[in-house]
Chains A and B, each alone.
Chain A
């Protein structure tokens, strides 16, 4: 797997492009933990998803901060028993938390959203906001909930192979067309990442090591357009490939999926 650190030389644009690419590749390809012999990996995917789903539901319903904390502890313990390094796990989940929190938790602390006892007044651009203790409490609760549910979701996705995950979605009555679309998006994302990487490689080998900053911007813009049209053409070709093997717009799936014969 290509790591960003190995791309130290090269322009800023190139570096951030490749960093994004390697993140996509890693996110779509990373199945190392899914094939380890841990606790979660040993569970049947259907049972695992159902259990995690119930735990997520519990986290959403619970109103007590301490109980949610307990649930979070349970999640970390499960990660530990599944041989996932705890720092890696925390990093993976904590990336998402600020994003979610910013949009949901911050507005909640103000009196207009959560009326109650005023703790402090703040003035931003002439607007006076009052922070309430109820607001703070519900914000804390929200952050705790988000952290716990995201962690649980990341736990399943890390310990289950993607193909299995998609297959079990089908068992829960998620329409096949939806699952198929998701898995195809997933595949495009991967091909897209590989394509960007190859184009960068090709340019680099022709132009030299560094793409000048100014030209770099142009090159990125041109290539994004190019990649778009390529991806578009590819989806047309894939559709033809499906037609060739009898697809008529009505997906069917294999029953009795036998494993490890």
Chain B
């Protein structure tokens, strides 16, 4: 057996049969990889992540997870679905959707509880996950009244509490301040060092640079236009510009106008 976690073969998917969201995607993700999916808005990134988490299914083509075909029938079996959900965790793009319990505590405990862990174990996981994100002081708060950054941290904690092998994150840094972004990056890197596979969708090229080792670029045609090592893709400015991931932008420095690609890529001061 190989140690491929996901294998996608010519996957097509459209919403309501009318709105295409993925048009022929092939992809192989191995264990322990750090994958970034980049692409402009509406190129199917979120849909792909939902597909990998077994929430939507292809209308054409095939998805294999851990060597088995991932479809509705497979997940209908309670054993299979529990085993799969214990192994794969998804942090949604919208934290307001992700957090649906009356308190932060219950939200973080929701995964472990429903995946059949004992109460003691659930409490342990609750403690570990909230400590690793520094949200212990928020446990008795109501999730939807938190700030954007706090919500995001709680959402990540609610997935980390499952302690999955594969962590999927949908735009994990959108709307966060630099210090919090750094915290999220460190957390992802640390999880990867413990052997977790990381799959994330983002437009944040700094995040890609800091975390990813492999990059897939999605286009408006809702398929992969290019994939490769992080360095190879990120330093190809013309390509990134073509796909709306950076834009040329006039800046005025000391009364001298010049033009350079935006996102100030590769000029980060730390």
A and B pair up: yes
A residues whose Cβ falls under 8 Å from a Cβ of B: 29, 162-163, 166-167, 183-184, 187, 190-191, 234, 237-238, 240-248, 252-257, 259-261
Contact: A237 with B97, CB < 8 Å? Answer: yes
Task: Mark each residue of chain B from 114 to 125: 1 if its CB lies under 8 Å from any CB of chain A, else 0.
Answer: 111001001100
Interfacial residues of chain B within 84-99, with CB under 8 A of chain A in the complex: 85-86, 89-90, 92, 94, 96-98
Please give me the 4 A-B residue pairs with the lowest Cβ-Cβ distance, nearest first: A246-B114, A245-B111, A246-B115, A183-B102
Number of interface residues of B (CB under 8 A): 39
Contact: B85 with A245, CB < 8 Å? Answer: yes
Interface status of B176 (Cβ within 8 A of chain A): no
Interface centre among A187, A241, A259 (most CB of B within 10 A): A241
- Min CB distance B249 to A, Å, is 25
Contacts A240-B50, A245-B111: A184 and B119 contacting too (C-beta < 8 A)? Answer: no
Interface status of B142 (Cβ within 8 A of chain A): yes
The dominant DSSP class at the B interface is: helix
In the complex, which residues of chain B have a beta carbon less than 8 angstroms from the beta carbon of A191?
Answer: 96, 144
Chain A's closest residue to B142 (CB) is A163
B residues whose Cβ falls under 8 Å from a Cβ of A: 50, 53, 55, 78, 81-82, 85-86, 89-90, 92, 94, 96-98, 100-103, 105-106, 109-111, 113-116, 119, 122-123, 136, 140, 142, 144-145, 158-159, 162
Give 13 new A-B contacts, CB below 8 A, not counting A241-B97, A245-B85, A253-B106. A162-B142, A237-B94, A244-B53, A244-B89, A245-B159, A245-B162, A246-B82, A246-B114, A246-B115, A248-B81, A253-B113, A254-B113, A254-B123
- Min CB distance A191 to B, Å, is 7
Chain B's closest residue to A251 (CB) is B114
Contact: B122 with A254, CB < 8 Å? Answer: yes
Contacts A29-B145, A240-B55: A256 and B102 contacting too (C-beta < 8 A)? Answer: no
A71 to B43 CA separation, bound complex (whole angstroms): 64
